[in-house]
Amino acid sequence: MATENPESKRKGGGGKLARSVIVTVRMDPQLNYLADLAARKHRRTLSSFIEWAVQQSFSDVELHHGTGYQGDETITLKDMEKSLWDVDDSERFVRLAIHCAELLTHEEQERWKLLTDSQLLSPAMTRNNGDRVWNWAKLEDVVFPVLRRAWNSLLVAHEAGPEASRKWVSATQANIGTIYKSPAPASASSITAPKPVSVPVAVPAKPVASVPAKPATSVPAKPAASPSFDDMDDDIPF
């Protein structure tokens, strides 16, 4: 494999029409000639046949050779292709480090060390007899969105050297509580009863008891004053 050119498209026929990477492969004349004959037999272009042949070989590449005892089965690259691939660089890197750590290059091992030391992966990791156990739901839903934002800074720190890498790890550890901050549930002692809210209630007016009217008392008319002798007419005969 000599060169890789991202964001390129293949213009030849056969196979898929669009490509994101063009790979130049060097072969000796005999291998090139026989591959060309095989491509003719498959009615493919040579590049399409090479791609097909590479994909077919995944079933023969063993990532783990199982014993067949108690579920220890052989795992091939074909079995793991969906688990190892992602369009995002950072997630693809973590998937490779978790599933196939032995395939990491020395540079990738250094980056993996920085990442695990930084505690960015801690929400999705537990320990079982010293081995890391990963919660994939938390990795995908909680950790990976954070990792995507921090990935470029990790690469820059790693490229800058050991001192920059240590500073990046320390700064990430110091902010890990803020990065994954979530509201803590209130404890029973901190829960206060809500203040009573006064709601105005319409109270019907009490009926006013009717007071029976007192019967009118008849005031006897004063008797007419009996005429005195002085008031009598002199003309009244005796």
pLDDT tens column, 113-159: 999 999 999 999 999 998 999 999 999 999 999 999 999 999 999 99
**pLDDT-based confidence at residue 181 (cuts at 50, 70, 90):** confident
> Is 45 a residue whose pLDDT tops 70?
yes
pTM above 0.75, yes or no: no
Q: Rounded distance, CA 117 to CA 111, Å?
A: 10
Please indicate whether residue 25 or residue 123 has the higher confidence score (pLDDT).
123
Q: Which helix (H) or strand (E) holds 115?
A: helix 106-117
Whether the Cβ atoms of residue 35 and residue 25 lie closer than 8 Å to each other? no
| pLDDT at residue number 46 | 94
Average pLDDT, stretch 202-212?
A: 54
Average pLDDT, stretch 195-212?
A: 52
Q: Rounded distance, CA 115 to CA 147, Å?
A: 9
Picking from 3-17, 87-101, 141-155, 203-217, which range would have the lowest pLDDT averaged per residue?
3-17
Residue 201, helix vs strand vs coil: coil
| pLDDT at residue number 108 | 97
Nearest Cα neighbor of 166 from 225, 104, 114 is: 114
Q: Which helix (H) or strand (E) holds 76?
A: strand 75-76
Q: Rounded distance, CA 81 to CA 127, Å?
A: 26
| pLDDT at residue number 2 | 43
Whether the Cβ atoms of residue 80 and residue 93 lie closer than 8 Å to each other? no
